[in-house]
Amino acid sequence: MAVFIYVVALLFSVIIHEVAHGYVAHLRGDDTAKVLGRITLNPISHIELFGSIIFPTILLLLKAPILFGWAKPVPIDYRNLKNSKTDIPLIALAGPAANILLVILSGLGIRLIKAFPNFEIGFGGAIESFLYIMLVMNVVLTVVNLIPIPSLDGSKIIAYFLPEKIAVRYLSLNPHICLIVLFVLLSSGIVWRFIYPIMNFFIIIFSGIAF
């Protein structure tokens, strides 16, 4: 049951992340995601076999500290954007921003439940546990997605500050090699030394509970 709850929280969080990308792209002139029906909360439109199922399962089997995964990236045609130079990093930021919003809402929900001890003892406790998972999950998704490894969102943000030729080469790095680098970072435990303090900081601020 615990694994199921984690998977549900992960899928919901990554779907919100991708919908945010698509919606901001729509606001900036590209309707590709909207036309293809990707600005929706329907999980069938977003589940990606490897990122949504296989990769999280591998992390669970390896007993990784935190579950991580991703949904099918929303299609974006950068040629339709009003100003691709500024719109691309803006669209990239939309995903982590959506996860931060979920962090805030989850934290507020936890604080609200704790304000009613009798409710917290009963059914409220189950809701609080789910909100806590959501909070932790979305802090992780925010931090990991901002790592500047192509094709994570952080790479598109960093590329904005690079000379055009270097940015193009940087963003064109082999995605399979980048995925291996990400997998090594997440499974080795090295990256968690940096993530844990950030997680604790945000979790305490928004929920009042230490991780």
- Annotated active-site positions, please? 18
* 140: its two tokens: 């992780």
Given a contact cutoff of 8 angstroms between Cβ atoms, the answer to whether 138 and 102 are in contact is yes
Of 141, 144, 129, nearest to 209 by C-alpha is 129
* 20: its two tokens: 């945010």
- Give how far Cα 143 sits from Cα of 87, 88, 187, 196, 211, Å: 21, 19, 16, 10, 15
* Backbone angles phi and psi of 201, in degrees to 5: -60, -50
Report the C-alpha dihedral over residues 38, 103, 101, 89, rounded to 10 degrees: -70
Render 96-127 in DSSP notation, one character per residue. Answer: HHHHHHHHHHHHHHHHHHHT-HHHHHTHHHHH
d(CA 70, CA 25): 19
* 96: its two tokens: 């982590």
Q: Which residue type occupies 149?
A: I
Report the 10 Å Cβ neighbour count for 41: 10
